[in-house]
Structure 1
Amino acid sequence: MKNTILVAGAGGYIGIPLCHLLINQGYRVVAFDRFYFGQPVSEMPQSPEFHTLRGDIRHITPDILHNVEAVIDLAGLSNDPAAQISSTLTHAINYDGACHLANTAKKAGVQRYIYMSSASVYGRSGAESADEEMECKPQSLYAELKLNVERELIRLSDTTFQPIILRNATVFGLAPRMRYDLSVNIMTRMAVREKFITIDGDGLQHRPFIHVQDVARAVLLALQLDLPLSVPPVFNIGGDSLNHTINSIAAIITEEIPEVKIVHHPLSLDTRDYQLCFSHARTTLGFLPTRSIRDGVREIVHVLTTDQLAGTQPTCFTAQWYTDLIEWEKRLQPLQLDGHLF
């Protein structure tokens, strides 16, 4: 009998590639998502082993997790700008919802639980490469809540419930539910469409990066890992060659797209500056990234230069899309009668 995996946030940037990988590896997949960005049926796996379930992690019940062997939590408002739109909503989804999902999974007898955290929990490390033992100094609500969920998962961990926490580097690369609000992706889009790249501050701030397809591979390895309780279940996901400054990312892009200007904005509110050590993931997970920044830039350039509509969809810009949804709800709610607009 095939193992059943529930993927929360399955309709997102990472979720769709991950669902394809899991199906290709022989798993049965339940794609659980609120689908705020639409339900991309044509982009999802076309398989009898793939099932879609529309729902909210804040209200998931144990019966949904019946006969589920593992849960992968990708859900939540997905970056710092989106999290700043409403601190109340962000806390309700990213912390309360994540903790509810984990507790419900444990009650339902789910053994393996993979949580998609973020390298942003480190905040600042400067020239020093942060390993999983380094003190975390989150610089945003998004990162702070990620760290708090990690702590709840560690508290829940025992011989019957085994969480693994993946602290992803900043993700880049092409995916069906494309995002152009991530550093490499948005800088590449600006270079192609605007012929310039804007950089906040001096561009010397460090960031670790990871391709979206490699993130899916890391999740698969975590799913299959036999991890003793004595081994720390937290992993930085990325690669040593993918620790970059923002300036070095811009340099790669301008090598691929000639005659692009780089414009620095002297004032920057972005205080994040960190690079990561990946030895734990390399030795314990057996994870090494397979795609470079240049690979990601080239695939995005190809799409943007062959399809003039690519990168114009409102759903490609996460924070603005959430802002629009909240505004539309405010406008439409007073017009409803008995819960219906028409």
Structure 2
Amino acid sequence: MPDPVCYSQRPHRPLTIGIIGASGFIGRYLLQSLLSRQCQIRQLLRSAATAPSQDGTRHYSGDLNAPGALNAFLEGTDVLINLAWPTTAEDSPYHHARQLASACIENGVQRLVHISTAMVIGRPGTKYVDENTPPNPLSLYEKSKLTVERELATHLGSQVDLAIVRPTAVFGPGSKNLEQLARRMLEWPLWSRYLLRFVYGRRNMHLVPVEDVVRAIELLAFHDSPLRGQAFIVAQDTHPSNHYQGVDELLAPALGVPPLRSKVRIPAPMLHALLRLSRRSQDDPRLHISGTRLAHLGFVPSRNFERAIAEYGQWYALKKERNP
């Protein structure tokens, strides 16, 4: 087994970056961004040749269910970025986290950047959440994600540097987030928009552009100092339009639907009670999620939230035009 390398003693050569989940939504954007950097990129696929692909990356075949098959992929990998995680079985988080941690240690990986979700907070006992807020997961999904975080931290210990990325609702062309709202705005009658604006009002949407998440992942992957298992929230809840009525107003012109300006809404405590009845974890419409640790590393959120919403709306409208 190779000796673990202290991350403060990084090699004076381009880093070799391994990506698990590069074919997913965030992964596709991350891969395109990394291709412009001075690094060697490896992708783990279920079936692939180890020869360089046309995009300049090297493809490896492997499966998280068979850790031994990861050796060729991980050997020589400096930083592993994990965007994929199976959550089909209730006991799988323990099993897969331990296997991935062992494979990283055995192959001398220096840092693991694991992408989780800010939703591990579950139902916090406060309206303001940051990385220091104790998680209180309720759903199986939230519990599974938190289990993975903790198991990786426990089993990697000090042998592999760990950073955990917790984005809020990531959106951009191709995302599932925002799809339901865009579809309703295009297909439902106008009165339904008035009703939904009245009901949801200024409920925080917790949206964050995918570009912000990619930049955060890259910052952590290339950061010189040890990150020591810290969790980093990526959010834009501070943006004044990151609530239901605000996003509706930003999407409308991009989708080509009439803008609605009414600000009338039900009181936030009433909406809170309705959402609690629906058994949602994040049931407080005033919940505010923010991160401070990325800022301490020099990260500055994108100033183009409005443009990102507009780009999503334009993409979705074109998609529906081509595939009605």
Q: TM-score, normalised on structure 1?
A: 0.71
Counterpart amino acid of 2:21? G
Change (3 A) 1:307 1:207: closer
Partner of 2:281: 271
- Measured after TM superposition, the shift of residue 297 of structure 1 is 2.4
Higher Cα radius of gyration: 2
Counterpart amino acid of 2:222? Q
Identity rate, percent: 24
Tell me the distance in 2 between the aligned counterparts of 1:213 and 1:104: 30
Is residue 20 from structure 1 mapped to residue 18 from structure 2 by the alignment? no
Task: Specify every segment of 5 or more residues in structure 2 that has no aligned partner in the other structure, as ranges.
Answer: 1-12
How many residue pairs align between the two structures? 286
- Is the 1:33–1:75 Cα contact (8 Å) retained in structure 2? no
Tell me the distance in 1 between the aligned counterparts of 2:19 and 2:67: 13
Q: Which of 222, 234, 237 is the equivalent residue of 1:237?
A: 234
- Measured after TM superposition, the shift of residue 46 of structure 1 is 4.2
Counterpart amino acid of 2:80? V
Q: Which of 42, 50, 55 is the equivalent residue of 1:47?
A: 55
- Measured after TM superposition, the shift of residue 270 of structure 1 is 2.3
Q: Which of 175, 181, 203 is the equivalent residue of 1:179?
A: 175
- Is the 2:118–2:233 Cα contact (8 Å) retained in structure 1? yes
Q: From the two aligned structures, give the one with the greater strand fraction.
A: 1
Change (3 A) 1:246 1:311: farther
- Measured after TM superposition, the shift of residue 153 of structure 1 is 2.2
Tell me the distance in 1 between the aligned counterparts of 2:96 and 2:203: 32
Is residue 209 from structure 1 mapped to residue 207 from structure 2 by the alignment? yes
Is residue 226 from structure 1 mapped to residue 224 from structure 2 by the alignment? yes
| Cα shift readout 1:86-123 (whole Å, capped 9, x = no counterpart) | 5x2x643x553243222211221101100101110111
- Is the 1:5–1:68 Cα contact (8 Å) retained in structure 2? yes
- Is the 2:102–2:156 Cα contact (8 Å) retained in structure 1? no
| Cα shift readout 1:305-328 (whole Å, capped 9, x = no counterpart) | 33446677xxxxxxxxxxxxxxxx
Q: TM-score, normalised on structure 2?
A: 0.75
Give the secondary-structure state (helix, strand or coil) at the position aligned to 2:35: helix
Tell me the distance in 2 between the aligned counterparts of 1:308 and 1:292: 24
Partner of 1:303: 315
- Is the 1:57–1:98 Cα contact (8 Å) retained in structure 2? no
Task: Specify every segment of 5 or more residues in structure 1 that has no aligned partner in the other structure, as ranges.
Answer: 40-44, 78-82, 313-342
Is residue 167 from structure 1 mapped to residue 166 from structure 2 by the alignment? yes
- Is the 1:9–1:34 Cα contact (8 Å) retained in structure 2? no
Change (3 A) 1:311 1:207: farther
Change (3 A) 1:247 1:113: same
Partner of 1:71: 80
